[in-house]
Amino acid sequence: MDENEIGSAVVDCAVALPRDLWPGLLETVYEVTLARALERRGLRVERQVAVPIEYEGERFAEGFRADVIVEGKVLLELKSVEHVTPAHKKQLLTYLRLTGLKLGYLLNFGEALMRDGITRIINGSLDPIPLSTRASVRGNSSEEGFSQRHKGIGDLKL
pLDDT for res 109: 92
pLDDT for res 138: 30
Domain count, the chain: 1
pLDDT for res 61: 85
pLDDT for res 126: 46
pLDDT for res 62: 79
- For 14, phi then psi, to 5°, come to -65, -40
- CATH at 121: 3.40.1350
Is 126 inside a domain boundary?
yes
Is 155 inside a domain boundary?
no
| Among 50, 15, 49, 45, CA closest to 32 | 45
pLDDT for res 141: 35
pLDDT for res 156: 53
Written as tens digits, the pLDDT of the chain (158 aa) is 999 999 999 999 999 886 667 777 899 999 999 999 999 999 999 999 998 888 899 988 878 999 999 999 999 999 999 999 999 999 999 999 989 999 999 999 998 888 899 999 999 754 444 544 433 333 333 344 444 334 333 455 44
Is 89 inside a domain boundary?
yes
CA dihedral 87, 89, 91, 96 (to 10 degrees): -160
Is 112 inside a domain boundary?
yes
Is 90 inside a domain boundary?
yes
Identify the domain containing residue 48 by its residue range. 3-150
Q: 75 with 99: CB under 8 angstroms?
A: yes
Is 156 inside a domain boundary?
no
